[in-house]
Amino acid sequence: MYVARILYPVKVLGPGNRIAIWMSGCSHQCRGCSNPELWQQDSRFYITKEKFKDLVHSISDRFLVDGFTLTGGDPFLNPKDLYEILEIITSISNDVIVYTGYKYDKLKNNPNYAKCLDKISVLIDGPYIESLNDNSFLRGSSNQNIILLKDSLKGKYESYIKKGKNEIQNFLTKDGFISVGIHDINYPKNIEKKLQLSSKLT
């Protein structure tokens, strides 16, 4: 399986302290995508099922995990890998959000995709459309849909969505930082301006 990043605690892509997983590989390649470096299934992101399981449990064995959020790339690019990941993480929490560029109607009518949907609590579907980036909560663009798939979590998510607002969370890495969350359309330009100002001050 191709897993590019695993971060914890992510607080801006679903309720609580979550493990967020970025999968590598995407056929949609939407204009303005925030993660174009994850379009290709780069061999450096390949890990075995056993290694992935060890990494996830190294977090969940020590810290409270309220849920998982899967994004990418597109997790549904390879439904076999996605299903194996879902089997591992749902043994820890049944609260799983998945972002995909595919539409729900297409996924639910394909048996390979449908069995993955059975393990997902919230699906956020549809391609990212840059011109429709209007800061809709949890969605990159307003054409995307938040689809609640588990009845047992509908109340929790209806309340969360009603009160929610998009926020950004930054994680330091050895190469700089990773900015996590739903970014508004001007975010790249604003970051560039801040970097230019910072370089002038130093």
Residue 185: predicted pLDDT: 81
Task: Pick the closest to residue 139 from 117, 120, 161, 118 (CA basis).
Answer: 161
Task: Pick the closest to residue 37 from 57, 22, 49, 19 (CA basis).
Answer: 22
Does residue 187 have a pLDDT over 70? Answer: no
Q: Is the pTM of this model over 0.85?
A: yes
Q: Would you call 199 helix, strand, or coil by DSSP? A: helix
Residue 171: partners with Cβ closer than 8 Å, 6 or more residues away: 7, 177, 178, 180
Residue 189: predicted pLDDT: 59
Encode pLDDT of 38-90 as tens digits: 999 999 999 999 999 999 999 999 999 999 999 999 999 999 999 999 999 99
Spans of all domains in the chain:
3-201
β partners of residue 177: 172
Percentage of the chain lying above the pLDDT 90 cut: 86
Q: Domain 3-201 belongs to what topology? A: TIM Barrel (3.20.20)
